[in-house]
Amino acid sequence: CHSSNHYGAAGYWAKMALDEGCIGLSFTNTSPFAVPTGGKTRAVGTNPFCFFAPAANDNFQLDMATTVVPVGKIEVLDRIGKPVPAGWGVDREGGNCTNAAEICKAGGLYPLGGSEETAGYKGYGLGMFVEIMSSVLSGAAIGPDVQSWTISRDGPVNYGHCFVVIDPARFSAGFDDRLGSYLDRMRN
């Protein structure tokens, strides 16, 4: 899917598959706000993805951004004039930053994992994975070419989305029971 202006809640799309007893994955690229590990310039969005899977008497639901935090958390701190916890964002030079206004206006977010010292390149790789699945695959705007999310922009933002549905019954019997057992073990 491409030529989109907004994706909505990632879980909405994955739950459609879950309600049918299937595994649901949904991905979207977003306007660049993440700075690549070791970089200075926004190049990737928060690029959320979602994975829901049905289990006996339960289900597994993962819905997350590929940045340390969503942009909204920084925007709230900027509005109320509070500092950002260290490790969430960078300034215009790519250095760790706790000033919300600087992060919002000229810096950016760390990818999931934070700086290079804390393996932020893994989160950056996840952001790239989502970008490839949602925008490169669909023909939408890619990474730095995605317009900023502002009121005054030049036409559609052209986000891309990807939706994958997998019927576990097509692979082997008992998926729901096995996943339910696994989830019980992880919780206890």
Q: What is the pLDDT of residues 84-97, one digit of tens each?
A: 999 999 999 999 99
The whole-angstrom separation of Cα 65 and Cα 49 is 6
Question: Is 161 considered catalytic here?
Answer: no
Catalytic residue among 6, 170, 185, 187: 6
Residue range 108-144, pLDDT digits in tens: 999 999 999 999 999 999 999 999 999 999 999 999 9
Contact 133, 125 (CB under 8 A): no
DSSP-assigned letter for residue 36: P
What tokens were used for 172? 């082997």
Residue range 44-74, pLDDT digits in tens: 999 999 999 999 999 999 999 999 999 999 9
Closest CA to 4 of 137, 140, 158, 146: 158
In angstroms, the Cα distances linking 107 to 32, 53, 154, 182 are 11, 36, 22, 41
Contact 36, 44 (CB under 8 A): yes
Identify the weakest region by mean pLDDT among 5-19, 23-37, 102-116, 172-186: 5-19
Long-range pairs of 7-16 with CB within 8 A, sequence gap ≥ 24: 7/48, 7/159, 7/161, 9/63, 10/48, 10/49, 10/50, 10/63, 11/50, 11/52, 11/61, 11/63, 13/50, 13/161, 13/163, 14/50, 14/51, 14/52, 14/61, 14/63, 15/52
Residue type, 169: A
